[in-house]
Amino acid sequence: MQPHAHTAGEQKSTASGARSRAVADRVAAFLHDRDVLCPACRYNLRNLATAACPECGRILSLHVNLDTPRFGALLATVVPMLAYTGVMGLAAGGLALAILHDPRTVMEVPGHIWLLLLLVPVDTLLAGLIYRQRLGFLALHRGARAAIALASWAGHLALTLWTLFVIP
Ligand SMILES: [Zn+2]
């Protein structure tokens, strides 16, 4: 074989060797003067010059990960809406049964009850809209997300307290 002639396999292994050397260099550069624990065995990899853990032998690599999406505020905003919708939906079902049983009941239902029931589709639409626009919601500043979640809770809490204590 000619000394300069490489087979496809040799070229491939040379290329992958170069790649793994590049990975090793990046890992070594990252670990230079930095305390990082091996994800497998918790060995401190500080100043490691290779891309393998000296303790457990696992091959190491570097990755860029997305920050964990923060769904907390989104859930916190939607939960009171769905809870209100659920409870008032049951109440609406009960009212519908009463009206079916005796149509005159319609006349006895106070106006503000209709107003509260009207909020059910409004809340459902609003929750659906927020879910549809969730990426936009998640892109909002942390303070804005917290403010929206707080407003949702405060509004529904006020509505619930009004329903329970002021109306009767
Ligand atoms: Zn290890």
pLDDT of residue 1: 44
The Å distance, Cα 40 to ligand 1 centre, comes to 5
pLDDT of residue 68: 67
Assign 3-class secondary structure to 31-52. Answer: HCCCCCECCCCCCECCCCCCCE
What's the whole-model pTM score?
0.54
The Å distance, Cα 23 to ligand 1 centre, comes to 17
Across the range 7-26, mean pLDDT stands at 75
Across the range 35-56, mean pLDDT stands at 94
The Å distance, Cα 25 to ligand 1 centre, comes to 18
> Does residue 7 carry a pLDDT above 60?
no
Give residues whose Cβ lies within 5 Å of ion ligand 1: 38, 40-41, 43, 53, 55-56
Across the range 34-45, mean pLDDT stands at 94
Structure tokens at 99: 């009206």
Q: Provide the residue type at 66 as one letter.
A: L
pLDDT of residue 153: 95
Is the CB of residue 74 less than 8 Å from the CB of residue 136?
no
pLDDT of residue 66: 67
The Å distance, Cα 20 to ligand 1 centre, comes to 18
Which candidate, 36, 39, 44, places its Cα nearest to that of 58?
Answer: 39
The Å distance, Cα 57 to ligand 1 centre, comes to 6
The Å distance, Cα 15 to ligand 1 centre, comes to 26
The Å distance, Cα 31 to ligand 1 centre, comes to 14
Q: Provide the residue type at 118 as one letter.
A: L
Which candidate, 4, 6, 63, places its Cα nearest to that of 36?
Answer: 63
The Å distance, Cα 156 to ligand 1 centre, comes to 51
